[in-house]
Amino acid sequence: MKEYVTISLETHLFFGRIMREHALFLEAAFPAGEMAYRRKADWFREQFEHALERTVWLANGMVSEAVLHSGEVFTEFTEMAEQQTSKLTKISINVRITQAEKNLRAGRGICPDRRMIQNVRQLNQHMLQLLNGLIAFKEKILQEVTSCDLYTANYPLLIEHILREAKLYRQIMTALEEKGCMPLQDLKEAEMFWNQIMMEHALFIRGLLDPTECELIETADTFAGDYCRLLEVARKQDCRTMDEVTRKTLETTEQYRDFKAAGTEGITGCGIRSVILPLLADHVLREANHYLRILKTEEKGRG
């Protein structure tokens, strides 16, 4: 049950925040006249925010140091990015959650009591319920956008992208509730999933930068090509021959994380011309940090 509690809370700390931000990005991209869509996106943002706040309260002393120090829960830019994004979009963001996350302590091997297990189970079931609703909402938006019945400033690919992430979150939480542990994930499958996500980040960054940012556009293009090639190579491998691909992916992702960190610093510091919200820049940086932790864990396990 210790693994069940720890992994549940670690998953919510990362993905719960990601879902809250997905809802915010959806809301910010609808025209002012699409009040029903804006209100629904805002409702999901608010619900995930409340659930994330509860997660932080439960997580103190129950999660690993590796996750807290990975940069996937928050970065040095998160609080500023939230404040700036709230000011720019006029959408409320509870910055106190990030401040509380900075004070989280790692677990000390203490087994959770019955009450903690019950609280985490209730949180998991609530998150699954919210996820089912958010996934259905994203699917509806995608269907409406691709049939030219709805306008949003978000690319259709971005909507597909955030839909895949929500479905992965649901898959993890469903396995935790049904089996009490993390699903045994095929390492090749995990790398292909996250390499696809990283490639799409590069494509979005390229498309959201101001046309005058030639050097940054070229770098984003290069990373998109790198991940595209990694995906092609991985498709031809099996789990026994993935070691070299994983090493190359780790090296590429470390460089990419540094590029994203510099980009987030530039956007929060108003030094880069773009239509990228500061919180979106920090969002993709945290996802790179999350993926790096997965890759390093894989490599350590193989060693």
State how far the Cα of 41 lies from the Cα of 28, in Å rounded to an integer: 9
pTM, two decimal places: 0.95
pLDDT of residue 178: 87
pLDDT band at residue 112 under the 50/70/90 scheme: confident
**pLDDT value at position 235?**
86
Give the count of beta carbons closer than 10 Å to the beta carbon of residue 83.
16
Residue 293 has pLDDT above 90, yes or no: yes
pLDDT at 244: 85
pLDDT for res 234: 86
- Report the distance separating Cα 216 and Cα 31, nearest Å: 29
299, with CB counted inside 10 A (0-12, 13-18, 19+), is middle
101 C-beta neighbours (distance < 10 Å), count? 20
Contact between residue 285 and residue 266 where contact means Cβ atoms under 8 Å apart: no
Query: How far does CA 36 lie from the centroid of its chain?
Result: 25
Q: How many angstroms separate the CA atoms of 65 and 26, rounded?
A: 32
pLDDT for 171-222, tens place per residue?
999 999 988 666 656 678 889 999 999 999 999 999 999 999 999 999 999 9
Burial class (CB in 10 A: 0-12, 13-18, 19+), 87: exposed
Interatomic CA distance for residues 124 and 136, integer angstroms: 18
